[in-house]
Amino acid sequence: MKKNGLFIVFEGPEGSGKSTQAKLLYKYLRNKNYDVVLTREPGGTKVAEMIREILLHKDIKIFPLTELLLYESARAQHIQEIIKPSLLKGKIVISDRFSDASLVYQGYARGLGMKFVKKINDIVVKDTYPDITFILDVTPEEGLARIKNRTKKKFDRLENENIEFHKKIRRGYLKLAKNKENFYLISTEGRIPQKVHKEIIKVLVKKFSL
């Protein structure tokens, strides 16, 4: 794909501050008059948001392979409908999660295998991989406490998993951050969002002169 846009992704365990950072970055770039799209996975389009409702529904059992294929279906729609056209138009796309979440959640934590999930990711994502990925790191204890305090809402199907699952997710992301280029691991543990935001801007200015 010949694109002149920029694709930025935020990943990390539950409550790591991805959504906050994605929003802060969106506002920052908008203020600088960039054409920016803020989106999320699973979601970002009507169909993908409907699939999200199934995936996060609390009272249903979904088998790991079904779960993976639902995330990938939502992703296929998201890429075709939003991400690819926006990048081709030269926009900056910021996504709150993308294909590495499948590697970590379904591949590593659910046990389908990261290699297997990478194959499916490659089929779905093709040449639309991110230019840069920020992995925000937090312990499950602090991350889950943030969610509880923030929303007072009931945990969704994945947030509701046991602490061992969340520890595994964190390990999966740390593993991933070690092995890849264009990955920036940033700790949000005990830090205020503005400080993390500044660190992110510094990386982007250096790498892409934004």
Instruction: List contacts with ligand TMP (CB under 6 A).
Output: 14, 40-42, 71, 97, 101-102, 105-106, 158
Give 22-31's long-range contacts (Cβ < 8 A, gap of 24+): 22/94, 22/95, 22/96, 24/193, 24/194, 24/197, 24/200, 25/94, 25/197, 25/200, 25/201, 25/204, 26/94, 28/197, 28/201, 29/92, 29/94, 29/210
Beta carbon nearer to ligand TMP, 141 or 202:
141
Nearest distance in Å: CB 154, ligand TMP: 13
Nearest distance in Å: CB 116, ligand TMP: 14
Nearest distance in Å: CB 209, ligand TMP: 29
Beta carbon nearer to ligand TMP, 54 or 210:
54
Beta carbon nearer to ligand TMP, 71 or 134:
71
Q: State the Cα–Cα distance between residues 22 and 119, nearest whole angstrom.
A: 27
* Residue at shortest CB range from ligand TMP: 105
Length of the chain: 210
Nearest distance in Å: CB 1, ligand TMP: 21
Beta carbon nearer to ligand TMP, 3 or 40:
40
Nearest distance in Å: CB 98, ligand TMP: 7
**Backbone dihedral region for residue 155 (phi beyond 0: left; psi -120 to 50: alpha; all else: beta):** beta
- How far CA 166 is from CA of 76, 84, 93, 163, 179, in Å, comes to 26, 31, 28, 5, 20
- 19, two tokens: 């959504």
Beta carbon nearer to ligand TMP, 46 or 89:
46
